[in-house]
Amino acid sequence: MLKKVAKSDYNRKEGFVISQLQLNYTSEMEKAMHSAHGVGYALYSLKHEVRMKIEEKRQRNYIKSQRMIADLDRRVHS
């Protein structure tokens, strides 16, 4: 059985939409986000690609800092 398609459905794109993140942030957090990553929280919450890029950068920085701490710890305790 075929379903009749309404004219309004012809231009509709299929797929899914990831909704905007609901973030609570202060003006200081906004300034820090701009200075560290060059984007604000509004764009960060809207664009998945931007979020992923920033989170990958944060992950790299975290790993780098953990390696520095481990190196310093080895120097102090050897």
Question: Each residue of 26-70: pLDDT tens digit?
Answer: 889 899 999 999 999 889 988 999 999 999 999 999 999 999 999
pLDDT at 8 over 70: no
Q: What is the mean pLDDT of the chain?
A: 83
pTM: 0.65
Nearest C-alpha neighbor of 39 from the set 55, 62, 16, 17? 55
Q: State how far the Cα of 11 lies from the Cα of 60, in Å rounded to an integer.
A: 42
